[in-house]
Amino acid sequence: MTQPLKIGLSPRFLHKVPQELGFRGKTLQYLEQSIAHWLMTANALVFMIPSIEGGGLLRRGNIRVADYVASLDGLVLQGGADISPITYGETSLKTEWDGDRIRDMYEMDLVQAFVAARKPVLGICRGLQLINVAYGGTLYQDIMHQHGDELEHHNVAAYDQNYHEISLVEGSGLARLYPGRQTVRVNSIHHQAVKDLGRDFAVEALAVPDNIVEAIRWRGPGYVVGLQWHPEFHDPNNPGQLDGTPILHEFLAAAQCAREYKPATAYQTLIGRWASFKK
């Protein structure tokens, strides 16, 4: 019997915990349940990867990032706080855009370790931005102030109902996953975005009409994909929303290939695995 794939999910950090939650002076690490449940729809086991750090009262024995990488089949980076401009060599234009430098550094270590082990990485929203920065790219600290307000990417009131159109780049991996679909609708909740593209990455989707980068894919020897939207918020039964299932199955196919020590760069191999997941 085939063992379920084990997928690591990097945590969100809450450094300033509201007093009413009762965790005085403590940092919370947590996940948003939609992303875990989305992965579980394909029968993957989900494990949150707590930060690896020492000092103070923290006790973790001899556990290292490498130990998690060895035990897991793939990594998903979820959304959350801004990437700190310091992480990509800039200073914050506004204090509210300072971001979470601590989380940045931890997640960059995770990405490096999983990629070195040839295990797939999928970044969602902030996760796409973190991947881009990890490979030397930069971000718009705020789309409206630095790029324009042609399209509203960050409607806090609408949150998971804030949808807009994107175009899939012809010949890209996403275009092959969605044949015949050039323009699709996705959920968007972000005010930062890719400015300078990271090394060896290709753009796979652009927002309509402002051309903000909405998806990227690594051209190196492994599977590293970033999505600016939230596929876990999409209803697969709603034809007005892009069904994230093909993306999920492609990611898990790459994880299965990595588990079996097979190269996950060949598209036909991934499609074969995707077809097996669909049955």
Extended strands (E) in the chain: 6-10, 12-14, 28-30, 45-48, 74-77, 121-124, 139-140, 163-168, 183-187, 193-194, 201-207, 213-218, 224-227
Output the CA torsion 120→243→147→82 (10° steps). Answer: -50
Dist. CA 215–CA 277, nearest whole Å? 23
Looking at 23-32, 36-45, 126-135, which range is the least confident one?
23-32
The three-class DSSP label of residue 269 is: helix
- pLDDT over 90 for what percent of the chain? 70
What global pTM score does this model have?
Answer: 0.90
R_g of the chain, CA atoms, integer Å: 18
pLDDT tens-digit map of 127-159: 999 999 999 999 999 998 889 877 777 676 667
pLDDT at position 264 is 47
Among 16-25, 79-88, 192-201, 228-237, which stretch is predicted with the lowest mean pLDDT?
16-25
Q: Quick one: CA torsion of 157, 187, 79, 243, rounded to 10 degrees?
A: 150
Least confident of 153-162, 201-210, 215-224, 247-256: 153-162
Mean pLDDT of 99-128: 96
CA dist 69 and 89 (Å) reads: 28
| Predicted local confidence at residue 200, as pLDDT | 97
* CB contact at 8 A, 118 and 258: yes
Q: Give per-residue burial for 102-131: e unless 16+ CB within 10 Å, then b.
A: ebbebbbebbebbbeebbbbbbbbbbbbbb
Which domains are assigned to the chain? 6-278 (3.40.50.880)
Question: Do residues 101 and 84 touch, judged by C-beta distance below 8 A?
Answer: yes
Q: Is the model's pLDDT at 279 over the cut of 50? A: no
Whether pLDDT at 73 is above 60: yes
Beta strands of 179-275 (E only): which ranges?
183-187, 193-194, 201-207, 213-218, 224-227
Dist CA 77 CA 75 (whole Å)? 7
pLDDT for 60 = 57
Give the whole-number percent of the chain exceeding pLDDT 70.
Answer: 89
Residues 58/42, Cβ–Cβ less than 8 Å: no
Q: What's the pLDDT band for 123 if we cut at 50, 70, 90? A: very high
Q: What are phi and psi of 38, to 5 degrees?
A: -60, -45
- CA torsion sign for 65, 71, 75, 77 is negative
- 7 three-class SS: strand
Tell me which of 54 and 1 has the higher pLDDT.
1
- Is the pLDDT at 52 greater than 80? The verdict is no
pLDDT of 275 over the 80 cut: no
- Digit-coded pLDDT (tens) for 228-269: 999 999 998 998 999 999 999 999 999 999 998 765 444 445
